[in-house]
Amino acid sequence: MAANPHDLIKWVARYIIPAEPQVRASLRAAGAAPDVVDDLIQDAYCKIAGLTNFAQIEKPAAYFMQIAKNLHRDRLRRDRIIRFEQFTETSDPFVNDRSSPVEAEIGARSELRVVDRALNSLPERCREIFRLKRIEGLSQKEIARTLNVTETIVENDVRKAVKALQTALRGDDMVEGHEQYRAADRERAG
């Protein structure tokens, strides 16, 4: 059953608007710039305005906070994707691809195999940290807590994995660098 717009407005005024300062503070604490915070709050209000049934929401302020955090996380993932594409070293992002769909798929599969080999050549912990960071989207702090390592280790292993992927995508010899990482890990393990 669709919500009465007047009831939604009253609900927002009573529960959501008073929570806005806390949501803004949380987003700023998470590192969002002031203009980004404004955008995230606006997007959160848009999502709330689209609710058809809000009566089942037991904690409206927490709901508002979660919407804003999810929007922030999505924005960070999109930003990360853009930054990661910069690693591919393409000089012109507007290259006209004249290859056939079959050739494109073969090329994509080949590139995926290169990435897979590069990731599989990494030490297990480094590979797992990269997966948690870049694929699952966990923060350094969450990964460190999950794997019981320091945030510095998380940062260094992500850097190693990205460097390995860059090297692999350029076609450089990967073996030498990864053997150094493995030897260092063996030394630490004792």
Examine residue 21 and state whether it is found in any structural domain, yes or no. Answer: yes
pTM: 0.43
Examine residue 91 and state whether it is found in any structural domain, yes or no. Answer: no
Examine residue 92 and state whether it is found in any structural domain, yes or no. Answer: no
Instruction: With beta carbons less than 8 A apart as the criterion, state whether 125 and 185 touch.
Output: yes
Mean pLDDT per 10-residue segment, the chain (190 residues): 74 89 88 88 90 87 91 82 43 46 72 81 89 83 92 90 81 50 55
Give dist(CA 153, CA 146) in Å, integer: 13
Do 106 and 155 sit in the same domain of this protein? yes
Q: What is the pLDDT of residue 76?
A: 83
Do 79 and 104 sit in the same domain of this protein? no
Do 136 and 68 sit in the same domain of this protein? no
Do 152 and 73 sit in the same domain of this protein? no
Residues of the domain holding 179: 99-189
